[in-house]
Amino acid sequence: MITSILLLIIAPLLSIFFVYMAVTEKDLLKAAAYSAGQSIAYSILLQAMSTPDIVMTYIAVSVGLYSALLVFVISKTERFER
């Protein structure tokens, strides 16, 4: 019980940190990695809320497919934001 409450507090804060880093980062590849980190924080949050079905969808789509998509899109443009 106490573990899941702790996770419910830590995971959103972690996701806020990753979102802040992703928004302010000038290197787009690193920003994509921070975005994946935010997705992992959300997965922990969903697991703490005991919704394993949504965790499976969320991990496959947001950490795997979405990050790959972002990397492809970045490869078609410039890596550094000006």
End-to-end distance of the chain based on CA atoms, in angstroms?
A: 47
Q: Is 12 in the site for other proteins (CB under 8 A)?
A: yes
Q: What backbone phi and psi angles, to 5 degrees, belong to 80?
A: -105, 135
Q: Is 20 in the site for other proteins (CB under 8 A)?
A: yes
The Cα–Cα gap between 79 and 8 comes to: 34
In 10 A of CB 45, how many CB atoms?
Answer: 20
Q: Is 64 in the site for other proteins (CB under 8 A)?
A: yes
Q: Is 29 in the site for other proteins (CB under 8 A)?
A: no
How far from chain centre, in Å, is Cα 81?
Answer: 20
Of 12-20, 27-35, 38-46: span binding other proteins (CB under 8 A):
12-20
Binding-site member from 1, 2, 3, 24 for other proteins (CB under 8 A)? 24
Binding site for other proteins (CB under 8 A): 9, 12-13, 16, 20, 24, 52-53, 55-57, 60-61, 64-65, 68-69, 72, 76
